[in-house]
Amino acid sequence: MTLNFLGSSPTRFLFFTGKGGVGKTSIASAASLHLADAGKTVLLVSTDPASNLDEMLGVTLSNRPAAVPGAPRLSVLNIDPTAAAEAYRVRVLAQLETGTDEKTRQTVREELSGACTTEIAAFDEFTGLLADEASGFDHVVFDTAPTGHTLRLLSLPKAWTGFLAGNDRGASCLGPHSGLKMQEERFRHAMEALANERLTTIVLVTRPERGAIREADRTSVELKAMGLSNQHLVVNGVFRASGARDAVAASLEKEGRSALADMPEGLRRLPREEIALRAYDMVGLDALRSLLAPAGSPKPMAEREPDPAAMAAGRYPDLRALIDRLAGDGRGLIMVMGKGGVGKTTIASAIAIGLVGRGHSVHLSTTDPAAHLAMTLDGELPGLLVDRIDPKAETARYVAKAMETRGRDLDEAGRALLREDLESPCTEEVAVFHAFSRIVGEARSAFVVLDTAPTGHSLLLMDATGAYHRQMVQNLPAQPGSGRLITPLMRLQDSAYTHVILVTLAETTPVSQAAALQEDLRRAGIEPYAWVINKCLVASGTRDPLLLRRLSGERAQIARVHDGLAKATYLLPRLAEPPVGIAALERLAGSTVG
């Protein structure tokens, strides 16, 4: 098959976005290969700090284009926020006037150490690719981070252009404004390119699942409000059961058909295509090329028939056992982390409900801009406080507090300058970090369960936590007799205070990303407590032929986690009905696997 937006005259820029786990990277990679195989020069760009393009394409990612072996005319790069931030710092410091004393340079260097700088630096590289830095390529394909982070990225050209238009003063959290003013023309050009239907196509990727479809609809509406109207819809992983006798397979098909039948009208009006569920992971060029191949094409070499002897389900501890362990502490912070689409929100909600059922009061919150908690819970429970870190509300709170404290003794001119600085798009990142820190502190006396954003966005939040810790330790050393300084990072590093639960699926890419996240956390001094392998067909009892062909791959990934990655492994089966609502989550928290 050929997706209609890849027809006779595809646009130069193609953006693939959607809820975590819907297959954005697979489809973006397959589309890039299709264009390259047709003779076009293509640059595939990941804007996700936790990208897995390297594993899928068999190439080492960096912030410079790298040729993909086996795919002439296709190159790939990853916008690495850390590398981008360091390059940005070097450029800003180079703009300081000759003769600037070392103390001033050190002050600017410290101001450039936070999350604001990381965001604007990554954004700066993104806008460069929309301008002239990819001039040697016929097409630039963007594989974006999960939706909430992507909406933030795509809103930045307009936000920064508006901020800079009325601000030409000294310095901010990003260093000298003169460095940003030099980029204003490039920001404006980026916004024009994004809104130009002859240049840019937005591809909304979803699964035939209600949550993913709702998020695609919300994304579509928000992008149209930004002027990005050339949108297409791809429904990935459409499943058709081989018969009605297999409850899991029949339920999967019924769930998909029902979700598509109830699709919001705005999405229904978009050009749309469907891609069938495959029996193999999308790893390697053969598998990726097969994704857009006509029906009946030979399967890629990566696929193998299952070994029946390897498919017998073993016994693993279930979610009830994990909750029992957690409940024994009586309080603490439980952070549920992982790649988008693996079921973090479901697991976090089930853990919170399980703790309430064991007699504890629980605060359940989320750092995810897309915020799926309300949809998953679909109800209220005594003893459970549910909220989310709302970026807009937290920004308003932060600005009001800053004006009340820092602006209290300023004259009108000073207050006007302070308010102008607080209108920076960076203020939102700072406000979200302060809200995160506040929630972390609550776990001193109660249970706090935190459903985190997909991996890449969470890593940026961890970067902000580390930057704040370094700043506090350097500038506010604890004085004898004044009590010990405890930063949010120190609480996260305290294994008696914080338990990090990594959630994955029994598939190559989610496991690899969870393993990479674990290494990132360990470098920050944070040791994961346990892994949860979610939605396992191997424990579901299915006999559907297509689903059975996926089992040998699942077995290999379960063994990979249990034998070499996790200190403790818990396994949940794929259920015949999605666990949505308080009652279903209570059952999940008390389920048995064996």
Per DSSP, the three-state class of 373 is helix
Distance (Å, rounded) from C-alpha 301 to C-alpha 171? 56
Active-site hit among 29, 161, 367, 509: 509
- Among 48, 368, 421, 463, the active-site one is 48
To the query of whether residue 82 is one of the catalytic residues in this protein, the response is: no
3-state secondary structure of 536: strand
Catalytic pick among 21, 175, 211, 256:
21
Active site residue 509: yes
26 is catalytic: yes
Q: What is the DSSP letter of 535?
A: E
Strand partners, 234: 205, 273
- Coil/strand/helix, residue 206: strand
Instruction: Give every strand in the sheet of 384-386, ordered side by side.
Output: 384-386, 362-366, 447-451, 332-337, 498-505, 530-536, 569-573
How far apart are the C-alpha atoms of 420 and 435, rounded to whole Å? Answer: 22
Catalytic hit among 11, 18, 20, 23:
23
State the catalytic residue, choosing from 18, 20, 24, 552.
24
Catalytic residue among 25, 290, 498, 504: 25
In the 8-state DSSP scheme, what is residue 322?
H
Is-catalytic flag, 318? no
The answer to whether residue 24 is catalytic is yes
d(CA 110, CA 244): 63
Contact of 456 with 416, CB cutoff 8 Å: no
Integer Cα distance of 96 and 108 in angstroms: 9
| Half-sphere exposure for 220 (CA within 13 Å, toward CB) | 24
Catalytic residue among 11, 17, 26, 219: 26
Distance of CA 104 to CAs 86, 97, 101, 171, 209, Å? 18, 11, 6, 12, 54
25 carries an active-site annotation = yes
Helices (H) and strands (E) in the chain, counts: 24, 17
What's the chain's Rg over C-alpha atoms? Answer: 24
Active-site residues: which are they?
21, 23-26, 48, 509
